Amino acid sequence: MQISAHPGGKRDRAPRSAATMGGVEFTLTDFRPADFETLWTIDQQCFPEGIAYSRRELNAYMRQSGSFTLVAESAKAQRKGLLPGGASRMIPTRVIAGFLVAAASRRGVGHVMTIDVLPEARRSGVGSKLLSAAEDRLRAAGCHLVYLETAVDNQAALAFYKRHQYFLVQTVPRYYANGVDALVLEKNLLSAAQAS
């Protein structure tokens, strides 16, 4: 399992929800094309070879019909020289902590293709905010169900999805290029919305 904007088409803007990551506030935004290499690099850090996407695969998922990519970013001040009079000038630098790619189908079923959060940003709520925002967007697009895949040996992901009310529906043998099986997990978006 492994986030996208509709090229050239009208799209909903991501809600700019704020949370904190290690004391640093972050917001969720829509993907910007200039972010692609950063997102691909994050994917390479988050998943082993055979599960991580190639540039071509990630690009294809992000451009798939009905897809969207949400990006978790923060702004960190960075010293950039001196102003006249000797005062320091601080310039904010955008830092991407993670992203999610998902798609809504015409059948009312959403698919989360990837959630990638940098190791140093994990356990800060970034993944939960990304997943919650994606579920809201899928629900708004008329999806009643969402599914995703994760490697059978990814215990951290399995615990994360269980906390978010995803349930196992099947195992797909040798799903990943490295031969690892995948677990397909689902969540009923309508019952989850009614429970909250």
pLDDT tens per residue, range 73-95: 986 655 566 666 766 666 667 78
**Which helix (H) or strand (E) segment is 188 a member of?**
strand 182-188
Q: Residue 70: inside a domain, yes or no?
A: yes
4 falls in which pLDDT band (50, 70, 90)? Answer: very low
Alpha-carbon span 30 to 164, nearest angstrom: 22
Provide the β-strand partners of residue 4: none
Alpha-carbon span 168 to 31, nearest angstrom: 29
Exposed e or buried b for every residue in 102-135, given b needs 16+ CB within 10 A?
bbbbeeebbbbbbbbbbeebbebbbbbbbbbbbb
For tokens 């809201």, the residue is 136
- pLDDT score at 163: 95
Q: Residue 161: inside a domain, yes or no?
A: no
Helix, strand, coil shares of the chain as percentages rounded to 5?
Answer: 30, 35, 35
Q: Could you tell me the residue range of the domain that residue 99 belongs to?
A: 18-144
pLDDT tens per residue, range 141-176: 999 999 999 999 999 999 999 999 999 999 999 999
Asked whether the predicted pLDDT for residue 57 surpasses 50, the reply is: yes
Q: Residue 89: inside a domain, yes or no?
A: yes
Alpha-carbon span 196 to 190, nearest angstrom: 10
Q: Residue 125: inside a domain, yes or no?
A: yes
Alpha-carbon span 150 to 38, nearest angstrom: 22
What's the structural domain count of the chain? Answer: 1
Q: What is the CATH number of the domain that holds 65?
A: 3.40.630.30
Q: Residue 25: inside a domain, yes or no?
A: yes
Q: Residue 190: inside a domain, yes or no?
A: no
Q: Residue 185: inside a domain, yes or no?
A: no
